[in-house]
Structure 1
Amino acid sequence: MGPGVKEHETETGGRKNVRLISYFFLLNISSLLAPISGFAMKSCKISYNIAICKKMKLTAVPRDIPSAVKGFDLSSNKISRVHVSDFENLPGLTQLDLNRNSISLIDDGAFANLISLNKLNLNNNKLSELGADLFHGLSNLTELRVSSNSIQAVAETTFQPLKSLKFLDFSKNKLKHITKVKSILQHLPNLRELYLRSNGLTTFYSEQLTNSSLVLKSLDLSLNRITDFRITANVFPNLTWFNIGGDPAKTAMIWDVRNKTFLSRVSTLDISGLRMKLTDMETLLWMVNSSLTSLRINNMKTNLPVLVQTACTVPTLSVLQLRRNKFFFVSSDLFKLCFNVEEIDLKENKIKAIKDDAFRSLHSLKILSLSNNKLSSVPCATRNLSNLLELDLSSNNITKLGCDDFANQTKLKHLDLYQNRIAALPECVFKDLVRLQVLKLQSNGLSNLNGAFKSPLPYLKQLLLNTNKLTAIKHGEFSGLWSLQNLSLHENQISQLYIGSFVGLTNLTHLLLQRNLIEETNVSKGVFNDLINLRSLELRDNHIKYRNSTSLLQAPFSQLSRLEMLAMPTQHGKGGSLLPRNLLQGLTNLLDFNIRDIHLFSLHKDMFNYTPQLTNLDISSNELQDLSPDWFSQIPNLKSLYISRTSLTSLDYLTDANLTKLEFVQARKNEYSVISEDIINSLPSLVFADFQGNGFTCDCDNAWFIQWIQNNNQTQVFDAYNFKCNYPVNLKGMKLLDLDIRLCSVDTGFIMFISTTCSILVFMLASFIYHFLRWHLAYAYYFFLAMLFDTKHKNKKPPNQYDAFVSYNANDEPWIMRELLPKLEGEQGWKLCLHHRDFMPGKPIVENIVDAIYGSRKTICVISRRYLESEWCSREMQVASFRLFDEQKDVLILVFLEEIPTGELSPYYRMKKLLNKMTYLSWPRAAGHTELFWEKLRQALRTGQDRVDEHFPLNVVDSQR
């Protein structure tokens, strides 16, 4: 396979119904205003704008994919046909993966709406032919993979729409003849890479490829049955990567390329497994003599030494790959001409021995791979490679290392020794590797480091010691590695850590210690204090177990202020555990805290006081019965929360947790039965929720949740269509989303009709009352108040404060002040109540009026035309007349300031009714007899409050009949 050629991986009853009416009223209105497509999908999930439906046993393309997705992964399913409507609603799709299905038929135009598609993967299906309109509409496609099908026929115009195609993998099909390749190439003017591996081609004639792509740079013709290869025209003038390798068991190829310039730009050549006459092979190498930089001669049966020596005469050659050639010994002569080669790959051979001077001529060699061979020691031949930068000795049978094994390797930067059988390291083994940056020693059975890393390795940044048999890390074990950034010690047998175990590792950022035997006493004594720049610490699967939440004398991570990720170990043994309240003290920059599966009963309420930046919290697989909102108030930046398998029965605590930034919740296999609206509304940033494996209640309590799953367009509820009912018993096992929730809601249209009708009727009634009955209502209101205050005064029977309350209009105030007040108060000595003088400030006017009338023996109404027109005077008259009717006593005196004909009194029916039943005093008639007027008024005021008859006669009369 060529560059870039890889498989794409890509409460029940009526009360509940009533309680839900308000929910659905609002929901239904909003959905009517703005219909949306829900984010719940039956068989897929969305991740980084990619719909992932991989390995879901689908037999057809799902139709519930949001139209905004950019990628669609349908690989590893059982789809047999692609219909023309399958992708019509996904115009923004840029990547489509249909790899590993059973597709045998694709409708013409099935991809026509995918105008933005860049990459299409149809590998590993059952296509036998490609129709004329198969790729219609894919004018922006740049990468197409159709390998591992059974394609035998390609229509003449199949590839015509693919004007932008740059990459085509047509490997493992059945084209068989080069003329079919022509029908492909002639429509692809921008094709850069073409892979035709294993197509059953038997001949290759350049004259059959006229008008082919002139920009093609990579061509793979390997594993075909080409017996005759003939190029008589320069059909590939820009070819730089060429794979002509074959199967050694097939017939030898005849090589007929008559012009050296036809392949003069090839820089990478793969002739692995090719059977060809030695002379033809030498001719081939001679043709690329001026451009070849990388040569692959893998899996060759014969002539390997000759080919190597011939290849090494190419002055530009720098990379030589010799894999799977099954030779056991590297002689002195094999590489004697490879002066300019910089990289040699000898992986997957069966080399047991290498001559000491086998690499003597490789003065330019920088990379040497001897991986997957049978070497029992480091070959002495490598000591001659003073310019070597990378050495791979992994997966051999090396049992021990010596002090001189890497002598002279002062420039080596990368050393792989993993998967050998090295039990111990000599102290001096790495003494010459002063520039080493990466050292891989995992999977060796190492039990003792013997101070090998106390000597300076000043540039070492990565050290892998995992999957060995180390039992302790001694003081200063890594003191010579002051540049180390990554240290892997997981999957050992480490039970002892000491203060100073990591001394010197001031630049270490990542430390892996999971799957060891470390106990809490090792962690709590400051063994990590030297790792001041540590960013990630992995401690899972150890024997660390705390029994109470009291504070530790010394917080184990107090010096790790830059730590961003901490994973605490799975607990072993019986019983639950607690975490010390100050366990996280000092971790002010912690972002990710993982305490999954540690048999945790509870967490102290102040646990996260020290970690205000925490964004990811995993407390799954514990024995927590409840979560406290206090935890979350300390970590306001939380974005991801994992709470699966915790036996929690409710998520109500989230409503008070203020998790406004939470985007991801995984809460699988708990005991949640109801997800309420309050819970969801408390998480405004939620984009992904996973509630798989919970036993939901299938009644109206979950009606809102069901509708939210189906209609919300922000949050994806993963696998929602497979949520099952656990209650009531008769619905157990039913799918939650199959529940008919119509009985839980009401007809929104009907409610809106009733609401609108009632609003209109209320408005009309209010308008009618305002225009025609407002004064009647006002009177009724004051009448009620009068009754209320009358009852109050009757019960209390307070003494009269005044002899008379004077009711008058403000325009008549000059007469009151000039005439009435001097006579009645000044000369006769009566105590009068005047509103402008005696009303209590701040008290309601009506209450002042009622208190004044009932607090006076008499009420004098000074009547004029303006008095009759005054609203407040009318109110005073109403209250006084009610007292008159109610008490049946002579308490009302009427004084007219001006003559008002009876006809003018008609609109004032209450005044007219009073005048028909009682006498009154008239100031105009008293002209010239004012003394008589004042005497009559004095007598009226002196009259007691005895009950009067039906006509209310006064002692002083001046009647108008």
Structure 2
Amino acid sequence: LGPVEQWSGLFCKLNMFFLLMFMIYFPVPVSGFSLQSCTVSINTAVCVKKRLTAIPKDVPPTVTGFDLSVNRLTRIQQSDFPPLPLLLFMDLNRNKISEIDPGAFRTLTSLRRLNLNNNKVIKLGERVFDGLNNLTVLRINYNQIKVLSSTSFQSLTKLEVLDISHNKLQKSADLELILHHMPQLQELVLRGNSLKAFNSWEITNRSLALHILDLTLNPLKDFKVTSDIFQNLTRLKLGNPKGNEQTIWDVKNHTFLSRVSNLDISGLIMTLDDMKSLLEAVTSSLTSLRMNSMKLNHSQLINMSCSLPTMFILQFQFNKLKNKIDSYFFKSCVHLTELDLANNYIEHIPENAFMTLKDLKVLILSNNKLSSVPNATRTLQNLIELDLSSNNIGSVTCMDFSNNVKLKELALKNNSIQTLSDCVFKNLLQLQVLRLQSNQLIQLNKAFEKNLPNLKRLYLNGNKLKKISAKEFAGLRSLQNLTLHQNQIKDLVEDSFVGLTNLTDINLQTNCLTMKALKTGAFNALINLRSLDLTSNHIKFEPLSHPPFSNLSRLERLFFMGQHLNGNQHLSINSLQGLNNLLYFNARKNHLTNLDNDTFTYTPKLEYLDIGSNDLKTLSSQLFAPIKNLKNLYIHRTALHSLDFFIEANLTKLEFLEGRHNQYSVITEKVIKSLPSLLFVDFTYISFSCDCDNVWFINWTRANKQTQVNDAYNYSCNYPDNFKGKKLLDFDITSCLPDKGFIHFASTTGVILFFLVISFTYHFMRSHLYYAYHLIWAWLFDSRYKNKQASHRYDAFISYNSNDEPWVIEQLLPRLEGEQGWRLCLHHRDFEPGRSIIDNITDAIYSSRKTICVISQRYLRSEWCSREVQTASFRLFDEQEDVLILIFLEDIPTYMLSPYHRMRKLLKKQTYLNWSRAADQPDVFWENLRKALQTGNKPDGEKLLLTVIETQ
């Protein structure tokens, strides 16, 4: 490249520099991870209860779920949804949507489930679901849909579940518009519409893939099937408990419903003959039958249904049986394994009412008026599950369950039982679940001291227990879950939980426990405990010689919120001693004013910590030193004035930070950068200072792609006074930048001066610059060969311009090679093909004893010739070797030599010959050239000096 090209490259670099400067001072807006109206949780955009009237546009394109329920959306338009290529689920439940434009969901091509329940849609227009080719579940119940268009469901070819219940569809012909485009539909729910007839010929003549059809709560007058369209139907729901219309049953062939195994005819009104026909249609396949709120004779219905040989499960709720059950009521139900008689106002059941139910395994008698456990249940020796919840049972006796030896689940919750006896459960050796919550129990009376060896879950919450006596649960060696919350327990003793070596979860919240109860060492027996809830008690921690949890080495979750204490509290240093595997600790709302730096020394695996709603005011970074695995931290309402403790806390794994309702007003860069794994942060209700101290936080909130800043667009300013009530993200950060006017003036002035200097320098000194350019080039290449001792392959390298080539070939070459026998190096003859010109020139000069420069005016104007002479001159001046011979083919004016200072130095102290003056004595010229070639390379050798002609 020549000088002009070099300067051109420099100008390109300068242009790039100023472009970068422009980008720094005028940054391009970047979409951040703080959403205006939503949060992202488990890859789902949650925008619930935000009073939205338009669909947010700033939802990340990577979300798989989008929850817009409970808002004020009224219309869905084509442009509403941004491209969300990974979205699988969308919830638009409980809005006010009355209109959906064609193709409104077209950008949601991956959507699998869509919920449009509880809106105000009246009509599903043409192509309303276009683009939803992958949708499998559509729920659009509780709208006002009256009209369906022929292409409404055209794109839903993969739909498997459609729930369009509680609308205003009136004609069975509407179903044809639904089913025509849905070859894979398996579940169709049409309950609560206005369908008066179901005529199969109006729907389709082909076999459907339907497995479930729900037509309940429709005023059906006719149910007519004329062809075998339900070959895959297994569950059919008919009937209208709230209606008075009689339904005509007309199924032409009993085999049309021969695969239905689950039938619900609750509230269905029809003649007894039609009822028989209905049951005959499913006689070979029916296994489960629901007949709730029936208006026909109950005994006849039971006899007809129980005569079906394959029917094992019967639900007979809301039939107001009260005292209608007699000894013969279930005499035909010999095959039943499950019987549900809940919600029937039953007050009494005869002792032999269930005598024929030898195979019964599940009996549900909840929500009735029973005052005691019916003696009839004692005959059910194969019973596995018995539910007597929500009755008026005041006590249980030792005989009530004595024969139910196979019982695995017993529910007595929500009764009025006050006491238990030690024999009441003695024969229930296989019982695994016992529900006694919400009774009036005052004491347990050793009911669990020796019995129930296989019980795994025991629910005693919501009673009036005041004390857990010694060995109260000693017989429950298999128990895993024990709920004792919402009692009045105040006292524990050392052996209260002896025997519960397999217990993993115990709930003791909302009792009256104090530190005195914990001092007893009652928890020491719970060696396998994983979760302990002591919320809402009266426990005041104080230094103890024997910490209450020292034996709970496997505990993972400890809930200690909301102790009902007055005044400031302090969590003692050894409160958590022994909890080496604790992962979760919640100490919210305890009036704590201080946490010792060694508080968490004993919990090195802690991942979740909630110390919110306390009066801490300050936290030390050393507090978090032992819990480097912390992932979730709640410090809301702690009156903190600063978050600087994070800087040295080394919480590199923290992902979730909830710091709302505090006193700090500035979030610094150091704080945020000390939490490199942070994914979610909540600073809601912080009184932010809207000044330059928060500029970094504002920029970070807008631009970061990793951490979601919850509800950041609603963060408000509290300082200074003129910004009060304004939004933090509306603060003009440009006011905090240096004075742009001065910067622009200074930079512009500097650029102008820079270009002026360059222009003047180039104008007045371009020749010197040109020379300096070649000088530098020669020095660079000379340095590569300076220390090499390569052997000389040539006597001389001939440097000449191509225009002088005839003189070299016709005069120089014959004399020096032909007559005198010198070996010369020539461009066209000896340069190595394929190698760069620069490398060839350099190698040629350093491989030759001498360099002969054939100088003419054209030679001095040649870039390559200039490089050759400069490289050779470096060997002369820098290596102190006499290697250069100059031959002038013509007289050279001084002004052409002036830019080449080394050239002038060469003429003053180096051998040179003038061909233009040798016309009279050419032999002398060639002899002098021979002598110059014969001389050595030492600088003090013989010189042949001539005078340069000074011409202008």
**Global fold match (TM > 0.5):** yes
| Per-residue CA distance 1:644-683 (angstroms, 9 max, x = gap) | 0000011111111111100000111111200111111111
Of 130, 143, 146, 1:152 maps to 146
CA contact (8 A) 1:191 1:213 kept: no
CA contact (8 A) 1:646 1:670 kept: yes
| Deviation at residue 571 of structure 1 after TM alignment | 3.1
CA contact (8 A) 2:425 2:451 kept: no
Of 368, 372, 378, 1:373 maps to 368
* Counterparts in 2 of 1:247 and 1:348: CA distance versus 1, 3 Å: closer
Alignment correspondent of 2:727: 735
Alignment correspondent of 2:40: 46
Alignment correspondent of 1:455: 450
| Per-residue CA distance 1:893-913 (angstroms, 9 max, x = gap) | xxxxxxxxxx879xxxxxxxx
1:144-183 counterparts in 2 under 5 A?
Answer: 144-183=138-177
CA contact (8 A) 2:207 2:231 kept: no
| Per-residue CA distance 1:448-467 (angstroms, 9 max, x = gap) | 10000001311101001111
Q: Which residue identity lines up with residue 103 of structure 2 in the other structure?
A: G
| Per-residue CA distance 1:530-583 (angstroms, 9 max, x = gap) | 000000011111111135xxx421011111110001112423332111112111
Q: Unaligned 5+ residue runs, structure 1?
A: 1-24, 776-867, 872-902, 906-961
Alignment correspondent of 1:411: 406
Alignment correspondent of 2:211: 217
| Deviation at residue 26 of structure 1 after TM alignment | 11
Of 592, 596, 611, 2:588 maps to 596
What is the aligned residue count?
Answer: 759
CA contact (8 A) 1:556 1:583 kept: yes
1:748-759 counterparts in 2 under 5 A?
Answer: none
Alignment correspondent of 1:487: 482
Alignment correspondent of 1:438: 433
* Counterparts in 2 of 1:247 and 1:479: CA distance versus 1, 3 Å: closer
Cα distance in 2 for partners of 1:762, 1:693 equals: 57
1:642-791 counterparts in 2 under 5 A?
Answer: 642-745=634-737
TM score, norm. by length of structure 2: 0.76
In the alignment, does 2:381 pair up with 1:397? Answer: no
Cα distance in 1 for partners of 2:22, 2:337 equals: 69
Of 178, 193, 196, 1:199 maps to 193
* Counterparts in 2 of 1:393 and 1:750: CA distance versus 1, 3 Å: farther
Of 607, 611, 615, 1:619 maps to 611
In the alignment, does 2:531 pair up with 1:536? Answer: yes
| Per-residue CA distance 1:286-308 (angstroms, 9 max, x = gap) | 11000001000001123111111
Alignment correspondent of 1:884: none
Q: Which residue identity lines up with residue 459 of structure 1 in the other structure?
A: N
| Deviation at residue 28 of structure 1 after TM alignment | 6.8
Of 107, 112, 127, 2:121 maps to 127
Cα distance in 2 for partners of 1:754, 1:194 equals: 73
| Deviation at residue 404 of structure 1 after TM alignment | 0.5
Cα distance in 2 for partners of 1:26, 1:469 equals: 75
Cα distance in 1 for partners of 2:626, 2:753 equals: 48
* Counterparts in 2 of 1:613 and 1:322: CA distance versus 1, 3 Å: same
| Deviation at residue 739 of structure 1 after TM alignment | 1.2
Cα distance in 2 for partners of 1:496, 1:27 equals: 74
Cα distance in 2 for partners of 1:27, 1:561 equals: 61
* Counterparts in 2 of 1:706 and 1:601: CA distance versus 1, 3 Å: same
Q: Percent identity?
A: 52
| Per-residue CA distance 1:613-655 (angstroms, 9 max, x = gap) | 0000000011101111112111000000000000001111111
State the secondary structure of the residue aligned to 1:51.
strand
* Counterparts in 2 of 1:758 and 1:319: CA distance versus 1, 3 Å: farther
Cα distance in 2 for partners of 1:752, 1:297 equals: 90
CA contact (8 A) 1:189 1:213 kept: no
Q: Which residue identity lines up with residue 386 of structure 2 in the other structure?
A: L
Alignment correspondent of 2:357: 362
State the secondary structure of the residue aligned to 2:672.
helix
Cα RMSD, aligned residues only: 3.1
Worse overlay, 749-758 or 312-321: 749-758
Q: Which residue identity lines up with residue 621 of structure 2 in the other structure?
A: P
TM score, norm. by length of structure 1: 0.75
Of 564, 568, 578, 2:560 maps to 568
CA contact (8 A) 2:351 2:376 kept: yes
Cα distance in 2 for partners of 1:569, 1:521 equals: 18
Worse overlay, 73-82 or 747-756: 747-756
CA contact (8 A) 1:340 1:364 kept: yes
CA contact (8 A) 1:118 1:140 kept: yes
State the secondary structure of the residue aligned to 1:168.
strand
| Deviation at residue 758 of structure 1 after TM alignment | 11
Alignment correspondent of 1:837: none
Q: Which residue identity lines up with residue 579 of structure 1 in the other structure?
A: L
| Per-residue CA distance 1:821-875 (angstroms, 9 max, x = gap) | xxxxxxxxxxxxxxxxxxxxxxxxxxxxxxxxxxxxxxxxxxxxxxx9999xxxx
Cα distance in 2 for partners of 1:593, 1:762 equals: 71
| Per-residue CA distance 1:19-56 (angstroms, 9 max, x = gap) | xxxxxx999759969x7521111211111011111111
Q: Which residue identity lines up with residue 643 of structure 1 in the other structure?
A: I
CA contact (8 A) 1:36 1:713 kept: no
Alignment correspondent of 2:882: none
Larger RCO, structures 1/2 (Cα 8 Å, 6+ apart):
1
* Counterparts in 2 of 1:758 and 1:444: CA distance versus 1, 3 Å: farther
State the secondary structure of the residue aligned to 1:608.
coil
Q: Which residue identity lines up with residue 712 of structure 1 in the other structure?
A: N
In the alignment, does 2:294 pair up with 1:300? Answer: yes
| Deviation at residue 708 of structure 1 after TM alignment | 1.2
Cα distance in 1 for partners of 2:668, 2:770 equals: 45
CA contact (8 A) 2:205 2:227 kept: no
Worse overlay, 156-165 or 246-255: 246-255
Alignment correspondent of 1:579: 571
CA contact (8 A) 2:217 2:242 kept: no
* Counterparts in 2 of 1:753 and 1:316: CA distance versus 1, 3 Å: farther
CA contact (8 A) 2:142 2:167 kept: yes
Q: Which residue identity lines up with residue 148 of structure 2 in the other structure?
A: V
Cα distance in 2 for partners of 1:751, 1:47 equals: 49
Q: Which residue identity lines up with residue 250 of structure 2 in the other structure?
A: D
State the secondary structure of the residue aligned to 1:656.
coil
CA contact (8 A) 1:389 1:413 kept: yes
Worse overlay, 223-232 or 396-405: 223-232
1:775-814 counterparts in 2 under 5 A?
Answer: none
| Deviation at residue 751 of structure 1 after TM alignment | 12
* Counterparts in 2 of 1:55 and 1:522: CA distance versus 1, 3 Å: same
| Deviation at residue 759 of structure 1 after TM alignment | 14
State the secondary structure of the residue aligned to 2:647.
helix
| Deviation at residue 745 of structure 1 after TM alignment | 3.1
| Deviation at residue 332 of structure 1 after TM alignment | 1.2
In the alignment, does 2:62 pair up with 1:59? Answer: no
Cα distance in 2 for partners of 1:759, 1:73 equals: 60
| Per-residue CA distance 1:189-226 (angstroms, 9 max, x = gap) | 00000011122111121211224561111001111111
| Per-residue CA distance 1:353-386 (angstroms, 9 max, x = gap) | 0110111111111111111111100001111111
* Counterparts in 2 of 1:684 and 1:768: CA distance versus 1, 3 Å: farther
Cα distance in 1 for partners of 2:130, 2:223 equals: 34
Q: Unaligned 5+ residue runs, structure 2?
A: 1-19, 762-767, 777-875, 880-907, 911-952
Cα distance in 1 for partners of 2:302, 2:725 equals: 69
* Counterparts in 2 of 1:187 and 1:525: CA distance versus 1, 3 Å: same
* Counterparts in 2 of 1:253 and 1:583: CA distance versus 1, 3 Å: same
Alignment correspondent of 1:517: 512
Alignment correspondent of 2:104: 110
* Counterparts in 2 of 1:577 and 1:756: CA distance versus 1, 3 Å: farther
| Per-residue CA distance 1:38-93 (angstroms, 9 max, x = gap) | 11112111110111111111111111111111111111111101111111322221
Cα distance in 2 for partners of 1:172, 1:30 equals: 59
